Amino acid sequence: MTERTFHVDGRLVPESEATVNIRDRGFLYGDGVFETLRVYDGEIFEWEAHADRLARSLATLDFEETMPPVTDLRQRVLDTVAANEFADAYARLSMTRGVQPGKLTPESRVDPTITVIVSELPRGGTDGDDVWDGPATLRTVETRRIPSEALPADAKTHNYLNGTLARLDLQESDADEAIMLDTDGNVTEGATSNLFFVDAGQLKTPSTDLDVLPGITRDVVLDLAREEGFPVETGQYSLAEVREADEAFVTNTTWEVRPVTAVDGHDVEAGPMTKLLAKLFDEYVERTHY
Ligand code: PLP
């Protein structure tokens, strides 16, 4: 396999030379933000939405003034994808508070570390294979979603311990994605995905007023569903409602629309609304990229 090329602080470098300082705060404290991006045919899917969310995450960590112009960041991603001669790819754009002289207290002078890593990810699309091996099976885990009062859920930070613990809870089970509840017992989301379900013909997903990351794929799916005239509701839901759903699916940038066939051992159908939304999503990608 030929060595990949990554982007580190403004330079394209071979993977084996792509390093950051051991004192980088992204490493020491998870003090950084990132976006997982999907590249279809050399172009970033929903770039503006990702750039907006990156800016919001940076604002939460209070170093948004160090964000380079959006066009510059986009170019770093595209240059990295092009250097590897990928057309369809996964990319991760990260920005940390970098190295600072003190200890935990952040200093106002920030020299961020900005990296892009990529891997090839062929597109499933309207007549290809999906990126996931099969439908998702979900299990509710003991790990609760961190309350936004402690760590704002709408910031996509390097600290993924909440999701890591949720995935560890899945060991010994046959499930491959977690359902996380908030501290009040409402359904929030998966470890790395947003959750949707269908109840009596209505598409439902937990509101972003709860401790939920506002997924870019979630927004696209909600728009597509509304355009199609599906009744859509965002709200507060109990586990019982999800377990009794007629259909369910999870979304994220790489999975796109991934059907769910079991929730806590209860069978759920990969039903007609899920299939139609997956098709509409594929067609949207097709329309906007190919
Ligand atoms: N929720 C969490 C906790 C995530 O980590 C992710 C993505 O990784 C998502 C939702 C889905 O977000 P997006 O559709 O922007 O990839």
Q: What is the pLDDT of residues 83-106, one digit of tens each?
A: 999 999 999 999 999 999 989 999
Domain count, the chain: 2
Based on the fold, state whether residues 275 and 144 are members of the same structural domain. yes
Based on the fold, state whether residues 168 and 267 are members of the same structural domain. yes
- Residue 125 in any domain: the answer is no
Q: Is 205 in the pocket of ligand 1 (CB under 6 A)?
A: no
Domain-terminating residue out of 120, 144, 163: 120
Q: Is the pLDDT of residue 125 over 80?
A: no
Based on the fold, state whether residues 142 and 81 are members of the same structural domain. no
Q: Is the pLDDT of residue 77 over 90?
A: yes
Domain range spanning residue 20? 5-120
Which DSSP letter does residue 110 get? -
Atom 3, ligand 1: residue with shortest CA distance = 192
Q: Which atom of ligand 1 is nearest to the CA of 217?
A: 14
Full 3-state SS string of 226-275: HHCCCCEEEECCCHHHHHCCCEEEEEECCCEEEEEEEECCEECECCHHHH
Mean pLDDT of the chain, nearest integer: 96
* pLDDT (0 to 100) of residue 269: 83
Mutate to test the pocket of ligand 1, among 35, 121, 165, 193 (most ligand atoms within 8 A of CB): 193
Based on the fold, state whether residues 164 and 230 are members of the same structural domain. yes
List % helix, strand, coil for the chain (3-state, nearest 5). Answer: 30, 30, 45
Based on the fold, state whether residues 140 and 279 are members of the same structural domain. yes
Based on the fold, state whether residues 111 and 80 are members of the same structural domain. yes
* pLDDT (0 to 100) of residue 282: 96
- Residue 249 in any domain: the answer is yes
- Residue 129 in any domain: the answer is no
Based on the fold, state whether residues 146 and 276 are members of the same structural domain. yes
Is the separation of the CB atoms in 216 and 222 below 8 Å? Answer: no
CATH of the domain at 187: 3.20.10.10
Q: N- to C-terminal Cα distance for the chain?
A: 28
How far is the centre of ligand 1, averaged over its atoms, from the C-alpha of 192 (Å)? 5
Based on the fold, state whether residues 108 and 175 are members of the same structural domain. no
Per residue in 186-222, pLDDT (tens digit) is: 999 999 999 999 999 999 999 999 999 999 999 999 9
Domain-terminating residue out of 57, 86, 120: 120
Based on the fold, state whether residues 69 and 190 are members of the same structural domain. no
- Catalytic positions: 156
pLDDT confidence tier of residue 251, bands split at 50, 70 and 90? very high
- Residue 128 in any domain: the answer is no
Per residue in 55-73, pLDDT (tens digit) is: 999 999 999 999 999 999 9
Based on the fold, state whether residues 281 and 143 are members of the same structural domain. yes
How far is the centre of ligand 1, averaged over its atoms, from the C-alpha of 195 (Å)? 10
Q: Is 253 in the pocket of ligand 1 (CB under 6 A)?
A: yes
* pLDDT (0 to 100) of residue 129: 80
Q: Which atom of ligand 1 is nearest to the CA of 253?
A: 16
Domain-terminating residue out of 75, 94, 120: 120
Per residue in 156-189, pLDDT (tens digit) is: 999 999 999 999 999 999 999 999 999 999 999 9
Atom 6, ligand 1: residue with shortest CA distance = 192
Q: Is the pLDDT of residue 131 over 80?
A: no
* pLDDT (0 to 100) of residue 107: 97
Is the separation of the CB atoms in 125 and 131 below 8 Å? Answer: no
Atom 1, ligand 1: residue with shortest CA distance = 193
* pLDDT (0 to 100) of residue 132: 80
- State phi, psi for 124 to the nearest 5 degrees: -70, -65
Contacts of 171 (CB under 8 A, 6+ apart): none
